[in-house]
Structure 1
Amino acid sequence: MSSLAFIQNINGPEILLIFLIVLLLFGAKRLPELFKSFGKSIREFKKATSEIEEDVRNAMEEEPRKPEPTAPAAAPKQVESANSDETKADKA
């Protein structure tokens, strides 16, 4: 069931009632400013979603990269500590 199914049942009187409530809450002076910022946020949201969709399409169209062969790992060198040098010198 869609969570936005109630929007289909909104008619003229309900929209008018919602507009009047918004008018009472924000006042006539702030309404243009409110709707302007609402429009900007909708535009930004649409721009962001279209950019994401474009990135996904581009990623799907790209051919997968073949992994580059790596050189075999060399055995790690054993590092003698300074203490072992001293003990060797003491033994000699």
Structure 2
Amino acid sequence: MITLTRRRHAPHLGAGLALTLRPSRTQPVYRRPEAVATAESLLAVLDADEQGPWVLSPEQLDVLTRAMDVRSARLPSTARQHPDFDAAIRAAHTHSLPPHPG
């Protein structure tokens, strides 16, 4: 669960998702149709609920962190808008990954 301490994080996250969902033949961000569908559904959720809290699946966390990476690379200033919130999402994504076999 991603719990917010401040309002209006959804536009911040939605902008990154929208950036990654723009058609791009040279560098598609999401190669699998399932990832595109997950990103689109997550964007709809964020548009509908700007405050949260959100319960995000591992797949949603994966497409969201990928969107954050693209957003940070293309628009570095946006990475400084909500660094604590971005860090919380990255931590949730890390915890959602299955453990590596030892």
Tell me if TM exceeds 0.5.
no
Structure with the larger RCO, 1 or 2 (CA within 8 Å, 6+ apart): 2
**TM-score (normalizing by structure 1):** 0.25
**TM-score (normalizing by structure 2):** 0.23
Structure of larger gyration radius: 1
